[in-house]
Structure formats: C-alpha cells, structure tokens
C-alpha cells in the first residue's frame, strides 16, 4: 500500500491493482483501490464510492454506506480533485 502525506503530494499516475491511502486536509484518510487497468476506482472513507473509468473520465457507479448498502448521496467536494490527481480529467455523477 502506498501512503502519501496529502492528496496534493500525489502526482504520478497509479497502476492497476494499486491501493493508496491519501490524507485529506481535514485529517481524515481516504483509501483508494484501482482495479482492471483503471477500469474501476473505489474510494473509501465514511462511505464507499465506486467509479467506472472510460478514457480519462470517471463515472459514478454507486455509493455504499458503512453497512455496504447502496444509497443516493452527493459527491463530497474533495473527491473530484482527488480523482484528477490520479490522472482523470473529469467526474460524472
């Protein structure tokens, strides 16, 4: 598992199968898993956001709560910049 001090410090594109822990500015840590040659990106914090990747764009597939139940939830403001630091250009919720 790779560990970085802040999302801003992460500047190289990760490979498929990478698991990252990114410390957010508010002190929380987001866990990111990239699978299938960047075809899927999972971001976990208090929720679990699953994104499909097509080209350089991430499309939100689902959001799960802490009990892994599917919910409707808005994307937090920090998630799009975090995904852009992974090399993605846009996020479609």
Indicate the pTM of the whole model: 0.73
**What does the pLDDT average to over 53-74?**
92
Cβ atoms within 10 Å of 51's Cβ, excluding its own: 25
- Is 12:90 a contact under the CB 8 Å cutoff? no
Which residues, at least 6 apart from 12, have a Cβ–Cβ distance to it below 8 Å?
none
20-34 confidence digits (pLDDT tens): 888 888 899 888 888
């Amino acid at each position: 598992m790779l560990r970085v001090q802040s999302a801003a410090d992460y500047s190289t594109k990760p490979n498929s199968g990478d698991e990252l822990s990114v410390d957010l500015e508010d002190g929380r840590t987001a866990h990111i898993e990239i699978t299938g040659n960047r075809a899927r990106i999972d971001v976990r914090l208090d929720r679990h956001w699953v994104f499909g990747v097509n080209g350089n764009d991430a499309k939100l597939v689902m959001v799960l709560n802490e009990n892994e139940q599917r919910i409707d939830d808005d994307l937090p403001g920090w998630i799009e910049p975090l995904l852009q630091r992974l090399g993605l250009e846009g996020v479609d919720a």
